[in-house]
């Protein structure tokens, strides 16, 4: 029976990979609509022939890796259950100590190691791909260091979450999902508050913007938007990537506007001011807080669905998966499998909301700066530096893009009215 289920799972995965390969490299339409040919949104007007070729190649390969790796992780959790690996780890943890917290720590450590080792080849392929296309400038040693830091950060957070979660499962078989969601609210807010000052600095060095004249210009924009900002932060990303980025992070007194140094090095001042105005829009329109509310709402639905699905699967196929109860720590791969699939299924909805907010932020930035030209050249340079696909395949957009496509952003800006028009 185990071989039969494993064979079916592998066959389905292989067929899926074949279909996605055909779709991404042959079946999807990524051409530029005739109405936009020759406009600023047409990559042929701002990328040379080599850049056009590389952007199509790199984007296609990167998208293919995403669509291959996502169900591969699901397959991994399924096999950990099917072949009794989860049950074996649980038994070894029970043999070491009678204390639940120690048992959970031991189990989670070995599950994390197995997952890390199984997914490492895909991560390494992604790293080598970005290096070969000169997107990444990061050394292998630095990349491994970041990976190890990420492993332990994730392990620490998962240890807290899993310990509390399985304690709740044992205390309340029917309503653990509700209590888990209630506890997730303060935990989520706390993590967002400490992220900029405790977690992000583990990977990179953050410091106030060195260019004080530019900082004055940015703070002047912040003052116009009635944003109580004292500093704009710069982060040293040039040693890791050639891509450009800026973002808003944190909440409350720890909220920050952050610029990558690559952005500062490659963009003109007017282009940087447009980006800053865009990021300020997220603060002004409270997108971070709407995002938190949306995340918590989806978490509530997700935990409820997870509890229902886990109960059904364990009742129907628990003997096959070597899991006898929801409250057994050996059910964790099943929990991770279900939540990962639900998260993937919800991504089109969350991406639609995010793209709407990003479109609002673009519009706000144009109204604030009155500079359509800088907005257009900014997005053109972002496309060039990241070898981004201007018009990605439909499935890629709906499942991966939290921002509008560059084709949409540039064409929308061209049509926009500004105070200088």
DSSP string, 14-35: HHHHHHHHHIIIIIS--PPPGG
Average pLDDT over residues 308-312: 96
Q: Decide: 336 and 86 in contact? Cβ < 8 Å.
A: no
Token pair of 295 as six digits: 């995340």
pTM of structure: 0.91
> 358 among the known binding-site residues?
yes
Phi-psi category of 243—alpha, beta or left, where left has phi over 0 and alpha has psi -120 to 50? beta
Q: Is the pLDDT of residue 292 over 70?
A: yes
> 278 among the known binding-site residues?
yes
208 three-class SS: strand
Give the residue with greater pLDDT, 180 vs 280.
180
Q: Where are the domains of the chain?
A: 2-203+287-415
Average pLDDT over residues 100-108: 94
Amino acid 248: pLDDT: 79
Residue 390 makes CB contacts below 8 A (sequence gap 6+) with 32, 41, 42, 43, 55, 383, 405, 406, 407
Q: Is the pLDDT of residue 237 over 80?
A: yes
Angle subtended by helix axes 332-369 and 100-132, to nearest 10? 50
Amino acid 418: pLDDT: 58
Residue 188 makes CB contacts below 8 A (sequence gap 6+) with 292, 295, 296, 299
- Model confidence at 240, pLDDT cuts 50, 70, 90, reads very high
- Model confidence at 55, pLDDT cuts 50, 70, 90, reads very high
| pLDDT > 70 in the chain, percent | 99
Q: What pairing do the DSSP bridges indicate for beta strands 256-260 and 246-249?
A: antiparallel
Amino acid 305: pLDDT: 97
Burial of 244 (0-12, 13-18, 19+ CB in 10 A): buried
- DSSP secondary structure, 80-140, as one string: HHHTTHHHHHHHHHHHH-S-HHHHHHHHHHHHHHHHHHHHHHHHHHHHHHHHHTTSB---H
Amino acid 251: pLDDT: 77
Q: Is the pLDDT of residue 420 over 70?
A: no
Average pLDDT over residues 26-36: 90
Amino acid 419: pLDDT: 53
Amino acid 102: pLDDT: 94
Per-residue pLDDT tens over the stretch 147-177: 999 999 999 999 999 999 999 999 998 999 9
Sign of the CA dihedral with 132 first, then 134, 137, and 142 last: negative
- In whole angstroms, give the CA distance from residue 229 to residue 226: 9
Residue 260 makes CB contacts below 8 A (sequence gap 6+) with 234, 235, 237, 238, 241, 243, 244, 245, 246
Q: How many Cβ atoms sit within 10 Å of the Cβ of residue 10? A: 12
Active site residues: 279, 362
> 287 among the known binding-site residues?
no
Q: Decide: 168 and 179 in contact? Cβ < 8 Å.
A: yes
Average pLDDT over residues 197-216: 89
Q: Is the pLDDT of residue 289 over 60?
A: yes
Q: What pairing do the DSSP bridges indicate for beta strands 233-235 and 256-260?
A: parallel
Average pLDDT over residues 370-394: 93
Amino acid 416: pLDDT: 75
Side by side, which strands form the sheet with 233-235? 206-208, 233-235, 256-260, 246-249
Q: How many Cβ atoms sit within 10 Å of the Cβ of residue 344? A: 14
Q: How many Cβ atoms sit within 10 Å of the Cβ of residue 319? A: 10
Average pLDDT over residues 129-134: 95
Average pLDDT over residues 359-379: 92
Sign of the CA dihedral with 349 first, then 351, 354, and 358 last: negative
Q: Decide: 368 and 2 in contact? Cβ < 8 Å.
A: no
């Amino acid at each position: 029976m185990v071989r039969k289920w494993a064979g079916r799972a592998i066959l389905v995965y292989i067929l899926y990979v074949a279909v996605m390969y055909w779709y991404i490299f042959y079946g999807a339409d990524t051409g530029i609509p005739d109405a936009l040919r020759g406009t600023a949104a047409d990559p042929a007007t701002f990328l040379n022939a080599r850049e056009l070729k590389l952007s199509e190649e790199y984007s296609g390969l990167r998208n293919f890796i995403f669509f291959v790796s996502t169900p591969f992780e699901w397959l991994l959790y399924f096999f950990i259950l099917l072949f009794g690996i989860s049950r074996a780890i649980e038994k070894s943890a029970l043999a070491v100590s009678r204390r639940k917290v120690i048992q959970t720590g031991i189990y989670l450590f070995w599950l994390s190691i197995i997952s890390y080792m199984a997914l490492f080849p895909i991560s390494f392929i992604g790293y080598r791909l970005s290096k070969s296309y000169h997107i990444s400038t990061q050394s292998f040693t630095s990349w491994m260091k970041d990976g190890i830091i990420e492993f332990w950060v994730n392990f620490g957070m998962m240890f807290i979450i899993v310990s509390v979660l399985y304690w709740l499962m044992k205390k309340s078989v029917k309503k653990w999902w509700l209590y888990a969601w209630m506890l997730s609210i303060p935990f989520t807010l706390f993590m967002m508050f400490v992220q900029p000052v405790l977690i992000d600095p583990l990977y990179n060095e953050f410091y106030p913007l060195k260019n004080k004249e530019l900082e004055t210009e940015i703070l002047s924009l912040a003052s116009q938007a009635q944003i109580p900002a004292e500093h704009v932060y710069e982060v040293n990303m040039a040693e890791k990537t050639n891509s450009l980025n800026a973002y808003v992070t944190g909440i409350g007194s720890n909220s920050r506007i952050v610029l990558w140094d690559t952005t500062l090095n490659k963009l003109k001042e007017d282009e940087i001011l447009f980006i800053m105005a865009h990021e300020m829009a997220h603060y002004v329109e409270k997108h971070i807080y709407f995002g938190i509310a949306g995340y918590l709402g989806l978490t509530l639905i997700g935990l409820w669905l997870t509890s229902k699905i886990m109960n059904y699967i364990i009742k129907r196929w628990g003997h096959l998966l070597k899991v006898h109860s929801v409250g057994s720590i050996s059910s964790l791969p099943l929990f991770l499998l279900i939540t990962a699939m639900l998260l993937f299924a919800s991504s089109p909805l969350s991406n639609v909301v995010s793209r709407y907010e990003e479109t609002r932020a673009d519009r706000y930035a144009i109204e604030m700066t009155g500079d359509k030209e800088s907005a257009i050249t900014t997005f053109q340079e972002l496309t060039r530096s990241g070898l981004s696909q201007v018009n990605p395949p439909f499935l890629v957009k709906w499942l991966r893009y939290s921002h509008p496509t560059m084709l949409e952003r540039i064409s929308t800006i061209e049509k926009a009215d500004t105070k200088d028009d």
